[in-house]
Amino acid sequence: MKEQSIIFFDIDGTLLDHDKKLPQNTKKAVQQLQADGHTVAIATGRAPFMFESLRNELNINTYVSYNGQYVVANGEVVYKNPLDLNALLELTKVGLENNHPIVYMDHEDMKANVPHHDYISESIASLQIDQFPTHDPYYYQDREILQSLFFCSEGEEVYYQNNFPAFNFVRWHPLSVDVLPKGGSKAKGIEQAMTALGIAKVNQYAFGDGLNDLEMLSTVTHSVAMGNAKAEVKEVAKYVTKSVDEDGILYGLKMVGLL
């Protein structure tokens, strides 16, 4: 049997195609990896409750969620990195002054600080998930907020990045950015998972396509960018596979010799 490896997959545009469907060949490839004794894991910007059904379908119990801020290894929480509360409240205040709402997210749920906003409706709808943030402007109280969604047009996040050094702002939609703790990333989350699992760096693989995959693909030993990835993502990856719509996962796994 091959030496055990761990393969981290991003979700949107990597495991799931542009219609948010899991290609059949991708599912078969994941099952073959598991049959060969490898660990299949997820590394995503999504909240844990946004991909529970996918984890169940693929029998995955190790994952890096919230872009590295909430990490589970073999079903056990091994790392949490919440946002600084004082800075978050100041961001909320300034955002409200500029008609830029925010959604607070912990490991269980997400709540918006305004009853309705078109930016929230449009961007969340693009995820094609069952959950939608309801209104609770005080959801941050007595909770660890692990990530927030901040809603502003492209380019407007530059002001916030310059004025809120406690955070990183990573765009995932034309109308929304992820708010992460400064220095937080999928790469940091993967480090925490690896410490818990004890798998050597030489046996680590990662697949991704988005801007929130840059640190992951530039640090994991065997990194693969999807054919549909942004140009800057392809530049940092060791390999570039085909698009998610062209069985890119299966092709990439063969490319790196895992299948």
Number of other residues whose CB lies within 10 A of the CB of residue 98 = 11
Q: Can you read off the two tokens belonging to residue 215? A: 């640190």
Active site residue 10: yes
Check 10, 106, 213, 247 and give the catalytic one: 10
d(CA 194, CA 190): 6
Number of other residues whose CB lies within 10 A of the CB of residue 235 = 13
DSSP secondary structure code for residue 247 in this structure:
T
**What stretches of the chain show up as alpha helix (H) in DSSP?**
24-35, 52-58, 85-97, 118-125, 157-163, 186-197, 214-219, 231-236, 248-255
Q: Is the dihedral of CA 206, 145, 128, 57 positive or negative?
A: positive
Q: Catalytic amino acids?
A: 10
